[in-house]
């Protein structure tokens, strides 16, 4: 992996403030030019002859010009000199009290009081997101395969990437690259770091699972059990779950000598997505059979919930760290949706059509937002605000499907990988903000 030229510090930023300004201008113009009774309505199905004729002045299609002396001001004392009617008495509030200074009669500007309040209202604070990556690395031989998971960012701030037959590590602190291993007559199909520590799990095309000590560059053990490639891995403390093209999921206790402790069979095609909810002890699995299954750690081989709303393969899975039992899943090219599941009640909350294949999903660690990567046809990276699902930013740069996604330990950066054989680092989320108390401060995540 080789670094490319650094991105200039004055990189372009994306922000929806321009759209808000346009909307404010439209509302202001509407309020100034038209009353509720004089808003022009489109006349349905005019004929050619109707368009040639000028409608009558009082017809609904030709509303009367509102009597609002726009862009000019004449004091009530001189209104009779230009033909404007003068009020018989000074406008007063109810019960003949002090005159209301908000009335147009006393205004020193042609803009109405309502429009003035609209202009003086405080602007919403928008978060600026860089439109270009902060760093780009070359990743030769990065496979262009939707069903694989070849990248993960560990708690020690080291990024692991599977390239062909080898596993490479990129230290994000010092920028150094090291090669962990090279497989003999085999290919890397998945990598995953343990939550805390330097142990890395590597899945292979032949169905093997290797456990490596990345700090010592030493292979600890090789586990068998699958009869086809292992495309998905997920850790829950010392339990490693592996999903394979043989349609099975295996739980492995890396402390025990056994190859696996439990086998789950529920999918009808390749298992390409696995994610643990460590707090609730639930495992979510996605497959090429379009199903999302939720397994309980304490139950036997039957899934706790089965969701079949997607109409394409499900690889993208993400558990919300901000709300208990909230699972997001993304569908492939024929589906294009992100669906939110309530695994406490076993129901679907809502969904959104993204317009392109959903390859990965990840929740922000510090705010109630999530990021998705996409393939056909947009090949982009999108940051969403939950639960409104408004787009915070849409980032482009890859020329192929953005198949791989990982997040930094502090939750501020994400790295994407694509079939164009590049890794791109993006600064998309804010860091965790400390809450200051009397006598000190504590770090708590900010949920917006």
At 300 the pLDDT is 72
For the residues 311-323, what does the mean pLDDT come to?
A: 98
Residue of 155, 185, 179, 153 whose CA lies nearest to 167: 179
What SS3 state is found at 202?
A: strand
Q: Residue written as tokens 């994407």?
A: 416
Buried b (16+ CB within 10 A) or exposed e, 176-206: eeeebbebeebbbbbbbbbeeebbbbbbbbb
For the residues 331-346, what does the mean pLDDT come to?
A: 97
DSSP state of 74: -
Q: Using one digit for the tens of pLDDT, what is the confidence trace for 58-84?
A: 444 444 454 544 455 555 555 555 555
Residues in contact with 245: Cβ distance below 8 Å, sequence separation at least 6, in sequence order: 147, 228, 229, 231, 270, 271
How is the chain split into domains, by residue range?
A: 129-443
Q: Using one digit for the tens of pLDDT, what is the confidence trace for 370-419?
A: 999 999 889 999 999 999 999 999 999 999 999 999 999 999 999 999 99
At 137 the pLDDT is 97
Q: Using one digit for the tens of pLDDT, what is the confidence trace for 213-231?
A: 999 999 999 999 999 999 9
At 345 the pLDDT is 96
Buried b (16+ CB within 10 A) or exposed e, 318-357: bbbbbeebbbbbbbbeebbbbbbbebeeeeeeebeebebb
Q: Does domain 129-443 have CATH number 2.130.10.10?
A: yes
At 15 the pLDDT is 55
Chain-centre distance of CA 20, in angstroms?
20
Three-state DSSP string of 207-260: CCEEEEECCCCEEEEEECCCCCCEEEEEEECCEEEEEECCCEEEEEECCCCCCC
At 13 the pLDDT is 60
At 2 the pLDDT is 75
At 12 the pLDDT is 55
Helical H segments across 258-356, by residue range: none
């Amino acid at each position: 992996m080789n670094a490319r030229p650094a991105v200039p510090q004055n990189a372009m930023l994306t922000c929806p403030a321009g759209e808000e300004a346009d909307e404010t201008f439209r509302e202001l113009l509407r309020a100034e030019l038209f009353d509720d009774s004089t808003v022009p309505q489109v006349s349905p199905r005019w004929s050619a002859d109707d368009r040639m004729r000028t409608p009558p002045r009082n017809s609904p299609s030709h509303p009367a010009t509102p009597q609002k002396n726009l862009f000019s001001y004449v004091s009530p004392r001189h209104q009779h000199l230009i033909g404007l009617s003068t009020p018989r008495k000074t406008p007063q509030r109810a019960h003949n009290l002090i005159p209301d200074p908000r009335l147009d009669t006393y205004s020193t500007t042609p803009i109405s009081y309502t429009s003035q309040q609209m202009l003086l209202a405080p602007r919403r604070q928008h978060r600026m997101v860089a439109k270009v990556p902060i760093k780009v690395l070359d990743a030769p031989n990065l496979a262009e395969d939707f069903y694989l998971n070849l990248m993960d960012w560990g708690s020690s701030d080291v990024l692991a990437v599977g390239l062909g037959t080898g596993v490479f590590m990129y230290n994000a602190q010092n920028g150094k690259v090291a090669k962990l291993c090279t497989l003999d007559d085999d290919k890397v199909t998945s990598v995953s770091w343990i939550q805390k520590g330097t142990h890395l799990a590597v899945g292979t095309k032949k169905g093997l699972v290797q456990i490596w000590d990345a700090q010592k560059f030493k292979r600890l053990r090789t586990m068998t059990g699958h009869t086809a490639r292992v495309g998905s891995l997920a850790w829950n403390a010392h339990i490693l779950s592996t999903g394979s093209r043989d349609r099975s999921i295996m739980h492995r206790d890396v402390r025990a000598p056994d190859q696996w402790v439990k086998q789950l069979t529920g999918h009808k095609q390749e298992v390409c997505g696995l994610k643990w909810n460590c707090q609730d002890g639930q495992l979510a699995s996605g497959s090429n059979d379009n199903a999302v299954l939720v397994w309980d750690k304490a139950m036997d081989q039957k899934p706790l919930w089965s969701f079949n709303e997607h109409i394409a393969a499900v690889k993208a899975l993400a558990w919300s760290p901000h709300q208990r039992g909230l699972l997001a899943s993304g569908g492939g090219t024929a589906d294009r949706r992100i669906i939110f599941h309530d695994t406490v009640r076993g129901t679907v909350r809502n969904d959104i059509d993204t317009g392109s294949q959903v390859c990965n999903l990840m929740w922000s660690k510090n705010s109630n937002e999530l990021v998705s990567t996409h393939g056909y046809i947009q090949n982009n990276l999108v940051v969403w605000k939950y639960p409104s699902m408004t787009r915070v930013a849409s980032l482009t740069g890859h020329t192929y499907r953005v198949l791989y996604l990982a997040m930094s330990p502090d939750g501020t950066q994400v790295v994407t990988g694509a079939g164009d054989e590049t890794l791109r680092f993006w600064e998309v989320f804010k860091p965790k903000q400390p809450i200051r108390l009397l006598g000190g401060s504590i770090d708590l995540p900010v949920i917006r």
